[in-house]
Structure 1
Amino acid sequence: MSESVETVAAFTIELQPAEAVLEGTGRFDFSKVWTGGMTGTSTGLMLSAGDPASGTAGYVALELFRGSVDGLEGSVVLQQFGTMSEEAVLYYEFAPGSGTGQLAGLVGAVEIDTSGGGHDVRVRYRLTR
């Protein structure tokens, strides 16, 4: 499959504060349960800096997803880079080369919509193998 495919999914997240690794930063471990076009679980690590209470902060995260994407089974790592400021920015992508099983060669991006109070996502991906 070389053409891009789109699917929709949702996840719930559980954040657990953890010991910071750098002075002036925060760290969270997290787990997610995915439903819809992405079905499975993921666990990850988030590092943050700034002042989220005032609306100015940034974070990076890596998470390992295990499950299926549109019925294709395997695992893949997702990477995130986000900023909160006057304009929020979020890059949320599959880490190239990280897929296993039927998800080997998976590349693409995830867009999150929180306007409804949850974490609804649109997933655009393709397989490069």
Structure 2
Amino acid sequence: MKISGQFDVKLNPLDTFTKGRDTIKLGRMAIEKVFHGELTASSKGEMLSAMTPVKGSAGYVAIEQVSGTLCERDGSFVLQHYGIMNRGEDKLVLEVLPDSGTGQLQGLRGQMAISVENGEHYYQFDFSLPDLAE
């Protein structure tokens, strides 16, 4: 099943546990999101990032727990992020962590894509649930 919608995001810097060497900048942030649409939920998580001195080259990893309602089913699940930018070309993977679904979202599998247009954040979520016909 595929759904899409908008989300609000807040990123708050946290203390960095280690310093980058030379000109590499390491960062750590708290993530808070509110999803709208068929995914009506909020999430909290953390992100680790690295920025190189080359414009457009960076990477990040993150984990966030999403809690709320997905297509009228209550529960939570964990999204794992892997993002890398190579001189402006980006690759972003967000996947549901296997067996992280709770409540009516047990057995959830899927991938999420995110985009930013005119300062607004959007998601597309391609997912499956054992008891949900596609």
Structure 1 runs of 4+ aligned residues shifted over 2 Å read 51-54
Equivalent runs, 1:8-23 vs 2, <5 Å: 8-23=4-19
Mean Cα deviation higher: 46-55 or 70-79: 46-55
Q: Which has the larger radius of gyration?
A: 2
User: Bigger relative contact order, structure 1 or 2, given CA contacts below 8 A and separation 6+?
Assistant: 1
Distance 2:2 2:84 in 1: 25
Question: What RMSD, in angstroms, separates the aligned Cα atoms of the two structures?
Answer: 1.6
**Which SS does the other structure have where 2:117 is aligned?**
coil
Q: 1:121 aligns with which of 117, 120, 123?
A: 123
Q: Which runs of 5+ in 2 are unaligned?
A: 21-25
Q: Is the 8 A contact 1:107 1:128 kept in 2?
A: no
Q: Which runs of 5+ in 1 are unaligned?
A: none
Q: How big is each residue's C-alpha offset from its partner over 1:54-93, in whole Å with a ceiling of 9 and x where there is no partner?
A: 2211000000100011111100000100012232000011
Count of aligned pairs: 125
Map of 2:32 onto structure 1:
31
Distance 1:94 1:22 in 2: 28
TM-score norm. by structure 1 comes to 0.90
Map of 1:43 onto structure 2:
44
